[in-house]
Structure 1
Amino acid sequence: MVSRKHKKATLYKKLELLRSLTNSHGHSKTSIILDASKYIEDLKRKIDVMNQDIASDVRAPLPLRLRVEAQEKGFLIEVLAERSCCGLLVFILEAFEELGLDVRQARVSCADRFHLEAIGVREKHGGHDDDQIDAKVVKEAVLQAIHNWSEISEQK
């Protein structure tokens, strides 16, 4: 039979291991376990974001990099394609308009390759913030714009 003292020592070792793995600063069993739970939830969220990024990359009609990052007031949107994409800017700007994003600042290059960096801000309509959008919605709209542009440019 395993002694009670041995069980307690084993539990203590496991808690210390859990504490070190999750970078917990807690000292009680409860706080270490809560920190571990938060750590696991954060890992799950990161995996979800990575899976969404992978799914977005698979659906992209041409080799490109798309990054949408939420900012304090709006979004930073970056689109980079290794070739020139005549007319793509118009489709992306139409997507911004449909989302109600005002372009506050942008840099665009369409010469040898397509590169867009833009800051889009969504104005509150009538002081209300009822219809919030997040970076995922903006990314999906830009991907759809790229897909629409791709379909039309293939027909030409």
Structure 2
Amino acid sequence: MKSVKRSSIFMEALVQIYMLKLKLEAVQREYLHLMALKTEYLNRIKHSQEVKVEKIEEGFLVRVKCENAGDTLVSVLEAFEEMGLTVLQARISSNNYFSMEAIAVAENQNQDQLDVRDITQAITRATEINGH
């Protein structure tokens, strides 16, 4: 009787080990899948670029999202300066990618001479030069 009981306990242990092995394999597959999704997401962010400029009452609302290439902020601020724009307020993030939302106003009352399209092109050039 003892050998039957031992055999039964042994079989239960083997079944439990096998079930745990299956669960571990499922977790490993899920982990690999999630890592692949993360890599794909980061690659999409890395290769995506977005520059949006809107005319607002006090000036221009500028939104920039692009690859963080180190001096991106400097390049964007230089573009503002070259156009005669002063940044009144800005929120910037530069973890995995560069993101900026800023309110900029024209210096010396030349705001009517500035066009949303021109600002968009200048900021886009600044991020492209820095990114390549």
TM class, shorter-chain normalised? 0.5 to 0.7
1:93 equivalenced with 2:85 (yes/no) = no
Q: Distance in 2 between matches of 1:94 and 1:117?
A: 16
> Per-residue displacement from partner, 1:33-87 (whole Å, max 9, x unpaired)?
xxxxxxxxxxxxxxxxxxxxxxxxxxxxx41121111111211110112x43311
> Counterpart in 2 of 1:150?
131
Query: By how many angstroms is 1:150 displaced?
Result: 2.3
Q: 1:99: how far off?
A: 0.3
CA gap of 1:130–1:120, structure 2 versus 1, over 3 A, is closer
Which of 54, 71, 75 is equivalent to 2:56? Answer: 71
Deviation at 1:130, TM superposition (A): 8.5
Looking at both structures, which has the greater relative contact order when contacts are Cα pairs under 8 Å and sequence separation is at least 6?
2
**Whole-angstrom CA distance in 2 between matches of 1:112 and 1:147:** 17
SS in 2 for 1:147: helix
Asked if the contact 2:53/2:119 (under 8 Å) is kept, the reply is: yes
Which amino acid in the other structure matches residue 124 of structure 2? Answer: L
CA contact under 8 A between 1:80 and 1:116: conserved in structure 2?
A: yes
4+ aligned runs moved over 2 Å, structure 1? none
Residues 105 and 111, structure 2, Cα contact 8 Å, conserved in 1: no
Aligned length: 87
Percent identity of paired positions between Structure 1 and Structure 2:
38
Q: Which residue of 2 aligns with 1:102?
A: 86
Counterpart of 1:113 (choices 97, 101, 104) is 97
Structure 2 partner of 1:80: 65
Q: Output the CA distance in 2 between the equivalents of 1:130 and 1:85.
A: 30
Rounded Cα–Cα distance in structure 2 between residues aligned with 1:69 and 1:103: 14
What TM-score, normalized by structure 2, do the two folds share? 0.59
Q: C-alpha root-mean-square deviation of aligned residues, in Å?
A: 2.1
More strand by share: 2
Larger Rg: 2
The answer to whether structure 1 residue 135 and structure 2 residue 116 are counterparts is yes
Q: Give the secondary-structure state (helix, strand or coil) at the position aligned to 2:79.
A: helix
Q: For residues 45-56 of structure 1, what are the structure 2 equivalents within 5 Å?
A: none
